[in-house]
Structure 1
Amino acid sequence: MLSILNVSVTEKIQPHTVLMRDWTFVPSTPWYGAFAHRLKATLAGRRPPPQHQVLKSPSQRARWIVYFVYLPDAALTTAHRYTLERLAQSDAGLFVVCALPSGEKIPAAIYDYADAVASKGLSGFDFSAYALGLREIVEHSPGCDLFVLNDSVLGPFTDIDDEFATARWDFTGYTGQALIENHIQSYAFIIKSVDAALERALRPVLPEKYTYDRYKDVVFQQETRLARIASQHMSVGVKWFADASTGVDPSFFCAISLLETGFPFLKKSLLHRRPDIYARDDILGLLETMGHPRP
């Protein structure tokens, strides 16, 4: 039976909401306007994939982490360094995929943490990095378990080895919601036993020969379809799910309550793009308590 979490959220949205714990993915009918957006993206939104270079290939291991970092200034932040250090402590190989301006080199410090390294252009959002990382992992370490995350989150504040061990489904996400259709948010997820067949199965959302370079196209074509496409080939679920009745994004509006349950991540956007949700000092205080440097 599902357990639930009563969550306090910002009064501007609603005073309380309920999240479902350990929710097995159930496809839903997409929002009526999704077809038009998706058709437009298919017809006019596809772009060539960004140029990329694999500078250090993965090797055969039981577990790998693919961490995507977006570096428009070709420089690591203190938050990046915290995450890299935490990920490097796990019993898994660390494959860092960096998005960089043309001609820029990967920061040398990444090699202090990473077991495999690749660079790509700035276009394509995180899904182009995920597709590249998955292809490389499948080629060099088929059968391994794979943890995928991007640098939109601070953390992890938990042990990544425990995250691998407690993943309940073949594809395990962290938060999910019903915007557009039931889906798992793509900032972090775990896939068990990746292989060439799985990589081919996920190509509708992790394509090899094209990418999307508009945020709306990525949301409609990739993030909100990822769980549904995956569920056709494997078991899929999420640790915390906000159904359509709540109307909230749990990674934003339930962030503090989730951290108090032992959740591993905090969205960076709470400090800049969405500072209206929580007081900045409250977020900074939480980070200080967890030993994270001031962003």
Structure 2
Amino acid sequence: MHSLAPTARPVPGTISPWPFRASRRAPRALAGRVRGMLRSLRGAPASLEIKPVTQRPRWSLYFVWAPDGRIEDCHRFTLARLRERDAGVLVVVATPTPADIPRELYDAADALWWKALSGYDFSAYAIGLHAIAAASPAADVFVMNDSVFGPLLPLEPLLDTPWDLTAMTASSLFENHVQSYAFHLRGVTPARMRALASVFSRRWSVGQFQDVVFLQETRFARVAARTMSVGAWWWAAQGTGSDLMVRETGALVDAGMPFVKRSLFGKKREEADAPAVAAALALLARHHHPIAGLDPAA
């Protein structure tokens, strides 16, 4: 039995650690799921194996969004940190065509898949997790996308938990759910992926972001909890306001959180006050994360 890491500490206004507890689903969530199924379900995006997954006990799965065929310094930082782990690195990259895959990913990744631009991060996760289940069954897999900067701190203390599915943060928005920008899934086998098929499908995808939230992210923990244990390091109640990663960036990192939300310097900038954004910038610099282009006054 794994024990909870002593390095993760509570943040005011959160429960930490938090074993998943299902909650009542908001009427808006139920309506959103029906709407999403009617307007947004489509076939899975085209995909292609570039470098195959091989048998390993541990993998890191990283989804890179590269619509212009280029990767950024933040991607390079993440790849370098993931390569420090005792784990293979599987990159699923979204570009217009396989010919647009950035060449440096061929060297940076132990395994590499291409996918078309449609489908959002859950379609990339499905590709990678199913590939690992088939070629490296029973591996433990850390999964993340490029909506966050990091990891700024070592991951291992946060992955050594009693849970089969461990998320960094969780929210009560629409219903209790874990947030999918980064999570750890133990024992990825074909049977486990069949149990999660209604969230990570290789046959269908979702075409609009809000429908991904309703049909995949907010359902993930509840579906997983039918066959495995689920928990998160920090849970916070959330109404319609900004989520914990936006409200409490500095406090979270001080408590052991290894990630900073990229949207603090983009679409979520208006939800965080200027001092908070400036503090996040200083935090990244302190951990030697590239900060060019992240001017909080922009």
The aligned amino acid for 2:10 is: L
- Residue 244 (structure 1) shift: 5.0
Q: Please say if 1:289 is aligned against 2:286.
A: yes
Give the CA deviation at 1:282. Answer: 2.2
Q: How does 1:1-295 map to 2 (within 5 A)?
A: 5-7=10-12, 18-102=13-97, 104-164=99-159, 166-244=160-238, 248-276=242-270, 277-279=272-274, 280-295=277-292
CA distance in 2, matches of 1:278, 1:199: 41
Q: Which amino acid aligns with 2:280?
A: I
Question: SS where residue 173 of structure 2 aligns?
Answer: coil
Q: How far 1:272 moved relative to its partner?
A: 1.3
Q: Deviations over 1:1-36 (max 9, x none)?
A: xx98354xxxxxxxxxx1110100001111112222
Please, what TM-score do these two structures have when normalized by structure 1? Answer: 0.91
Q: CA 1:250–1:55 in 2, change beyond 3 Å: closer, same or farther?
A: same
> CA separation in 2, counterparts of 1:272 and 1:168?
35
**Structure 1 segments (4+ residues) deviating >4 Å:** 244-248
Tell me the percent identity: 41
Task: Report the Cα distance in structure 1 between the residues aligned to 2:26 and 2:122, rounded to whole angstroms.
Answer: 22
Q: Deviations over 1:231-289 (max 9, x none)?
A: 00100000000035896511111111101112110000001112230434322211111
Query: Whole-Å Cα distance in 1 between the matches of residues 28 and 149 of structure 2?
Result: 33
Extract unaligned runs of 5+ from structure 1.
8-17
Letter in 2 for 1:238: A
Against the structure 1 CA distance between its residues 4 and 106, is the aligned structure 2 distance closer, same or farther, given a 3 Å change threshold? closer
CA–CA separation in structure 1 for the residues paired with 2:98 and 2:111 = 20
1:160 CA displacement:
3.0
Offset of residue 180 of structure 1? 0.6
Q: Give how far 1:110 is off.
A: 1.2
Residue 292 of structure 1 aligns with an amino acid whose one-letter code is H
Write the distance in 1 (CA, Å) between the matches of 2:42 and 2:202: 11
Contact 1:4–1:20 at 8 Å: present in 2 too?
no
Shift of 1:102: 3.1
- Distance, in Å, in 1 between the alignment partners of 2:113 and 2:252 is 32
5+ unaligned residues in a row in structure 2: which ranges?
1-7, 293-298
Whether the aligned pair in 2 keeps the contact of 1:270 and 1:278 (CA below 8 Å) is: no
> Helix, strand or coil for the counterpart of 2:26?
coil
CA offsets per residue over residues 40-60 of structure 1, 9 Å max, x none?
A: 222331111111111011111
Q: Which amino acid is 1:156 matched to?
A: P
* Aligned residues: CA RMSD: 1.9
Partner of 1:11: none
Assess if the C-alpha contact under 8 Å between 1:271 and 1:283 holds in 2.
Answer: no
Secondary structure of the residue aligned to 2:231 is strand
Q: 1:199 to 1:47 in 2, by over 3 A?
A: same
